[in-house]
Structure 1
Amino acid sequence: MCPYANTVAEGVAFVKDVGKPNVKVMLDTFHMNIEEDSFADAIRTAGALLGHFHTGESNRRVPGKGRIPWQEIGRALREINYSGAVVMEPFVKTGGTIGSDIRVWRDLSNGADDAQMDKDARDSLAFSRFILGS
């Protein structure tokens, strides 16, 4: 067994090696953008073993403010009948525990205040529900 996995195929192999029904694959669009050749093929590879799904753009912003192929992802999630959690994972501000832990070095929010950050989150949630929903 490997202690970590970079690709969905490696994750699926690990989950199958463990052989326990409560061990699943978690996919993250930011990292899939780096490691996978195809978002849809990766999602299909995970199939019924997909237990959790994180969304974020290639530029760490909220879904809809980058270049990730969301319609392709939505179709693939529907093809495998995924009904689990979908969690946005944008990292756009420096400082704080998370900003420091993951090394956010510059403000990716274009100086957004709390009201604008809330609006961006609401807009991205509506976008995600439209694109990824059934």
Structure 2
Amino acid sequence: MTICIEVLNRFENFLINTAEEGCEYIKQIGENNVKLMLDTFHMNIEEESFGEAIRKTGKYLGHFHTGECNRMVPGKGRIPWKEIGDALSDIGYNQAVVMEPFVQMGGRVGQDVKLWREMYPNISEEKLDEDARQALNFQRYLLNR
């Protein structure tokens, strides 16, 4: 079993906010089955460079979440996806890359991520499905997946 510790931004956590802090924590634990989970939303707030953070994490990266700076699907913001794809390739990352957008307010998740407004006016299941399809194609292309 692999345990992944997520690196979160300073507004959601005070323990591990950067890839470097996460790597130091994992080294102190000293177990091969404990890894880091990086998330592009949180990286956007805390990291100076996406590529450097991913490369620094290297063998400690166990899981990777993607989402835009505005919590939308990949491709609908300003995250540097090519830089991220190149860095993942450089470290030989071959695990899952999971999209984690949040576009609808309400419910426990909406409260937890502080989503106080709908990201799309007049959202529909069809629109959500189409965005997911487009984001998957975008992500596969730019992240070499």
TM more than 0.5:
yes
> Greater CA deviation, 124-133 or 97-106?
97-106
Give the partner amino acid of 1:35. Answer: E
- Report the counterpart of residue 117 of structure 1 in structure 2: 128
Other-structure match for 2:141: 130
| One-letter identity of the residue aligned with 2:44 | N
Distance 2:121 2:76 in 1: 12
Partner of residue 22, structure 1: 33
Q: CA RMSD in A?
A: 1.2
Deviations along 1:72-114, one digit per CA (max 9) or x if unpaired, are 0000000000001111010110112211222210001232211
Q: Could you tell me which residue of structure 2 aligns to residue 86 of structure 1? A: 97
Please identify which structure carries the higher helix content.
Answer: 1
Residues 1:74 and 2:85 aligned together: yes
The reply to whether residue 7 of structure 1 matches residue 5 of structure 2 is: no
Unaligned runs of 5+ in 1: none
2:139 & 2:129 partners in 1: Cα distance? 15
User: Aligned partner of 2:134: which letter?
Assistant: D
SS of residue in 1 equivalent to 2:64: strand
Q: Which runs of 4+ in 1 moved over 3 A?
A: none
Alignment length (residue pairs): 132
Q: Percent identity?
A: 56
Q: CA deviation at 1:10?
A: 0.3
1:98-117 equivalences in 2 (<5 Å):
98-117=109-128
Of 31, 52, 55, the residue aligned with 1:41 is 52
Q: Unaligned stretches of 5+ in structure 2?
A: 1-13
Q: Secondary structure at the match of 1:93?
A: coil
The Cα shift of 1:4 comes to 2.6
**What SS does the corresponding residue of 2:103 show, helix, strand or coil?**
coil
- Partner amino acid, structure 2, of 1:53: F
**For residues 91 and 80 of structure 2, what CA distance do their matches in structure 1 show?**
17
Task: Indicate the residue corresponding to 2:10 in structure 1.
Answer: none
**2:34 aligned counterpart, secondary structure:** coil
